[in-house]
């Protein structure tokens, strides 16, 4: 196992000095600073750290990250299987079982046993900066995750909670279709319902609907859902109501999850889960939807595998080949960074 100390990075903060680890989200309402990694399948790791300080992500150091070659990536669903899955979801929609479902695939490639996810973080911060970037390194607890997520899952400030679902992706704003706007509105309705289960009656609002946000290499449609938590609800209750994130499941969520389970051939892990931090002393926290996310798994044979997830929301208006291309678009820049297509020169990426 890689012998590196536990740490967590979020924005310009780094947390070190691991105190304790739990799988109970209720601990997030106790005290201290916590890093949180919740897998899509429901496994949650909450790690409390003793020391939190302001520290920018270090500049990449040549040779500290040796990523896989571009040809070494394999996909849990190839193009034929993925497009067949899109067609199958359209059949479910035609039968009235679901309005939309997110279909994802997991890409995998071998990396060196000494691969350090924090070294990959330095590359991501410069090759694909993101508003909810974060890293959690807990080798002894099976968590080595780096996200360049553009999507807010849950932000909490006292009793006020927000979610920022993304639906609709294109290279430019001109690429966004009516299908993308419809998809976003459907997911906003789902998130309003999720948050409304634990918020005060009448407090849930949508301050922004289908705003266009620009990110490296693509644009997204992003909405904001806001509410005020009931006094009897903490992080555990909020998780129960909102997890897994609606934007990466579908609507209705229960039907979408059943369809996802039947069509996807690999667990999503931290991809499409929740990754972020909670400052229990301040009653604040911010969790990203675990998209644009890498994680390292270490099989018992002593090797290491780097994984990355990509997917698309499928509606009746979906074209199977176009949805495949959307998954390629979402992955291309991130895989280039991880595979070393961006060269480090004098502390910058060229």
> Does residue 1 lie in a domain region?
no
Q: What is the Cα–Cα distance from 233 to 199, expressed in whole angstroms? A: 8
> Does residue 349 lie in a domain region?
no
User: What pLDDT, in 10s, does the model give residues 286-300?
Assistant: 999 999 999 999 998
User: What pLDDT, in 10s, does the model give residues 168-181?
Assistant: 888 999 999 898 99
Torsion angle in degrees (nearest 10) through CA of 311, 314, 317, 319: 40
Contact 245, 275 (CB under 8 A): no
Element (H, E) at 304: strand 304-314
> Does residue 350 lie in a domain region?
no
> Does residue 161 lie in a domain region?
yes
Domain that holds residue 129: 7-342
Q: What global pTM score does this model have?
A: 0.94
Contact 184, 206 (CB under 8 A): no
> Does residue 87 lie in a domain region?
yes
> Does residue 2 lie in a domain region?
no
Contact 162, 191 (CB under 8 A): no
Query: How many domains, in total, are found in the chain?
Result: 1
User: pLDDT at position 302, please?
Assistant: 81
Give the pLDDT band (50/70/90) at residue 341: low
Give the pLDDT band (50/70/90) at residue 63: confident
The CATH number linked to 236 is: 3.60.120.10
Contact 207, 226 (CB under 8 A): yes
Residues annotated as part of the active site: 151, 167
> Does residue 182 lie in a domain region?
yes
Query: What are the residues facing 193 on neighbouring strands?
Result: none
Q: What is the mean pLDDT of the chain?
A: 94
Give the pLDDT band (50/70/90) at residue 70: confident
> Does residue 180 lie in a domain region?
yes
């Amino acid at each position: 196992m890689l012998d590196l100390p536990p740490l967590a990075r979020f924005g310009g903060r780094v947390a070190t000095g691991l105190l304790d680890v739990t799988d109970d989200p209720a601990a997030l309402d106790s005290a201290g600073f916590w890093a949180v990694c919740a897998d899509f399948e429901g496994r949650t790791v909450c790690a409390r750290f003793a020391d939190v300080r302001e520290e920018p992500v270090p500049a990449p150091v040549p040779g500290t990250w040796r990523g896989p070659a571009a040809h070494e990536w394999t996909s849990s669903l190839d193009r034929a299987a993925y497009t067949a899955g899109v067609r199958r979801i359209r059949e479910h929609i035609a039968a009235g079982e679901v309005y939309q479902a997110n279909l994802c695939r997991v890409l995998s490639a071998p990396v060196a046993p000494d691969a350090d996810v924090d070294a990959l973080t330095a590359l991501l911060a410069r090759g694909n900066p993101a508003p909810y970037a974060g890293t959690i390194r807990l080798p002894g607890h099976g968590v080595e995750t780096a996200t360049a997520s553009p999507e807010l899952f849950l932000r909490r400030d006292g009793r006020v909670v927000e979610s920022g679902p993304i639906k609709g992706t294109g290279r430019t704003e001109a690429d966004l279709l009516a299908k993308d706007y419809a998809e976003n509105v459907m997911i906003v309705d789902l998130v309003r319902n999720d948050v409304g289960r634990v918020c005060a009656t009448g407090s849930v609002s949508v301050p922004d609907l289908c705003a266009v946000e620009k990110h490296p290499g693509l644009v997204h449609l992003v909405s904001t859902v806001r509410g005020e938590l009931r006094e009897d609800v903490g992080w555990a209750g909020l998780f129960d109501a909102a997890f897994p994130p609606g934007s990466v499941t579908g609507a209705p969520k229960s039907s979408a999850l059943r369809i996802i389970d039947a069509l996807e051939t690999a667990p999503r892990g931290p991809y499409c889960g929740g990754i972020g931090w909670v400052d229990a002393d301040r009653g604040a926290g911010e969790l990203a939807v675990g998209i644009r996310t890498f994680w390292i798994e270490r099989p018992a044979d002593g090797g290491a595998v780097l994984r990355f997830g990509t997917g698309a929301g499928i509606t009746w208006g979906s074209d199977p080949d176009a949805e495949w291309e959307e998954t390629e678009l979402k992955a291309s820049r991130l895989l280039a960074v991880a595979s070393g297509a961006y060269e480090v020169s004098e502390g910058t990426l060229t």
